[in-house]
Structure 1
């Protein structure tokens, strides 16, 4: 249960409220709980820019791995990446009905019934992918080995890779690249413009703080896997967009994610801890987090400033990003 004496800020199950009608923007109801005040965002699904567009195919695009890939059919799409960004974008482009497979991280309510082809939570199952008979696979280099991708190519599956790096500035271009690979350029323009405008509005509204609030993103999957984010993790870009200072980067980390030691965490001196909702649940909630070595000795641990956000949107850097920033801003600077 919520303990306002120990936890100053908590976002539980953050989602983004968007209507599902074509092209009509709706304002989200920020879901935040601060002390014992709770509000809820009820819909994680991004709003499609249109309904069931008609791809102009075939198209040949340059994949992130440097190869030219021809896509002739977008009727059966599998979208797999670490944070569910690709599946989220396919849905927001209006091709949700064409999406036949997803990664574990793609937990949007509108597509949760699609088969999960990453049963381990990270790497693809080649058998699961082939069983779905995809006409195109959208992915990045984090979801499988070169041998697995070669096996899929040998089976005739067109594979388009996208940049796994997550930044605010790359969100619009990646949306456009996904749309172009599926033969729906105009829908990509519309969605990229909408998303970029929402990100700009959210960051413009961030208040100036001196000193900047220091935020640490902690990746949790049970007590056996606890990692601190650093440069290139995506969390650093999100924190910078919030006008904050990434604690991992400030502490001298050189890798996107590093296994936490209590000494490193204490040295990072975060004012706020940012975590994913499912990850927080996996260690027994806020009380479990505060029992991890070093957490209670940080400024965030001492004041109980902990923010958690739904796994499916926090580091997605897709169509929901502007609303994610707006909701986080509301809590960080409340």
Structure 2
């Protein structure tokens, strides 16, 4: 995570769980330092205690309109990195037999990869003999999922997570599909507590405007987030205003123009790390027309977080809020 123009980042700490500190700069900084350390380790923190034992069979609603019966959760294959994080955090990581390209945390990185680019290979999936597959509505191609179903493997499809409220819904659905609803409730309680502790450190009277920019310089993709971008929910949870949304952008993403940036007038720019790197860092970002004319550009206030974590909306989302609360309110 990089913050340009507002001092360095602190180190140390052991994660963001537990009770929060009073709303003070020291409290926010301590939690942000611990969160940053946890994210740098890139590991999952499972629920405390013994791993849950699935109570199966269960029949659940799938987001593709089907009802799916899961009889065996001994070989789980999540086809989404955020879903995989939830499975591991529930304590079922030793049952996971493969991974999607977006599952980049340490516990999953040595598992067999079953995607080519972002497309699922049905042959790779079936070679791992999964007993249940967890997918998103945007997992594809459809033919691959049909092939997996035709082979007799239950496929539970979930709605994508695009806002903070989706974290608990997604956790509940995954836990139910795997026959561990109690673990899902415990995880939701843990996440709720961590989020509350993070948000308790929002300074009174501070409402900076934050613009989320999605950039891929090598592909000439330059977008500003608006309502429904996914980042707007995080920005608001951290006690700030989504600059794109506030300026009237009612689509998730809009091509960046000087006029749009000047109208948005962000105090802080939020980005994914690889996106910032793709334009040459903060110096390269300043070359994009309109950036240097915003308060964020003038002060070089840019916050970036690792791509798979920032919009992951899963068990590590409280760490994101801890960092945002500290960094976007910094003077």
Instruction: Please classify the TM superposition score into its range, dividing by the shorter chain length.
Output: 0.7 to 0.9
1:233 counterpart (207, 218, 229): 229
Q: Give the Cα separation in 1 of the matches to 2:72 and 2:157.
A: 17
* Counterpart contact for 1:215–1:244, Cα < 8 Å: yes
Q: How far off its partner does 1:200 sit?
A: 1.9
User: Alpha-carbon deviation of 1:15?
Assistant: 11
Distance 1:147 1:250 in 2: 41
Query: Superposed, which structure 2 residues align to 1:1-334 within 5 Å?
Result: 7-8=5-6, 17-18=14-15, 30=31, 40-41=37-38, 42-49=40-47, 50-81=49-80, 84-120=81-117, 122-209=118-205, 212-224=207-219, 225-334=221-330
Cα deviation code 1:95-114 (max 9, x no counterpart): 11112222322221221222
SS in 2 for 1:292: coil
Q: CA deviation at 1:272?
A: 0.8
Q: CA–CA distance in 1 between the matches of 2:93 and 2:144? A: 26
* Contact 2:210-2:235 at 8 Å conserved across structures: yes
Offset of 1:277 from its aligned partner? 1.6
CA distance in 2, matches of 1:243, 1:175: 24
Task: Select between 322-331 and 149-158 the one with higher mean Cα deviation.
Answer: 149-158
The answer as to whether partners of 1:226 and 1:259 remain within 8 angstroms in 2 is yes
Please list the CA deviations of residues 67-98 of structure 1 after superposition, one character each: whole Å capped at 9, or x if unmatched. Answer: 211111212222123xx211110110011111
Residues 122-159 of structure 1: CA deviation (Å, up to 9, x unaligned): 33233332333322111211222434332322222211
> Following TM superposition, by how much is the alpha carbon of 1:322 offset from its aligned partner in structure 2, in angstroms?
1.8
Deviation at 1:59, TM superposition (A): 1.0
Give the 3-state SS of the residue equivalent to 1:286 in structure 2: helix
**Aligned counterparts of 2:82 and 2:322: Cα–Cα separation in 1:** 18
How many Å apart are 1:11 and its aligned residue? 6.3
Distance 2:152 2:59 in 1: 16
User: Is the CA contact (8 Å cut-off) linking 2:82 and 2:313 kept in structure 1?
Assistant: yes
Stretch moving more, 214-223 or 141-150: 141-150
SS in structure 1 of the partner of residue 229 of structure 2: coil
Q: Which has the higher helix share?
A: 2
Matched residue, 2:25: none
Contact 2:225/2:253 (CA < 8 Å) preserved in 1?
A: yes
Equivalent-residue separation in structure 2 for 1:286 and 1:116 (angstroms): 33
Residues 18 and 194 in structure 2, CA contact (< 8 A), matched pair in contact too: no
* 253-262 vs 153-162, which moves further: 253-262
SS, match of residue 312 in structure 1: helix
Q: Determine if contact 1:206/1:329 at 8 Å carries over to the other structure.
A: yes
Superposition CA RMSD, Å: 2.9
1:30, distance to aligned residue in structure 2 (A): 4.6
Alpha-carbon distance in structure 2 between the residues aligned to 1:281 and 1:199: 29
Q: CA offsets per residue over residues 268-311 of structure 1, 9 Å max, x none?
A: 22111111122222332222222233322222111100001122
Deviations 1:158-211 (A, max 9, x none): 11111213222231222121111111111111111101111122223312335x
Question: What is the TM-score normalised by the length of structure 2?
Answer: 0.85
CA distance in 2, matches of 1:302, 1:159: 50
- Whether the aligned pair in 2 keeps the contact of 1:61 and 1:69 (CA below 8 Å) is yes
In structure 2, do the counterparts of structure 1 residues 45 and 291 end up closer, same or farther at CA, with 3 Å as the change threshold? same
Count of aligned pairs between the two proteins: 316
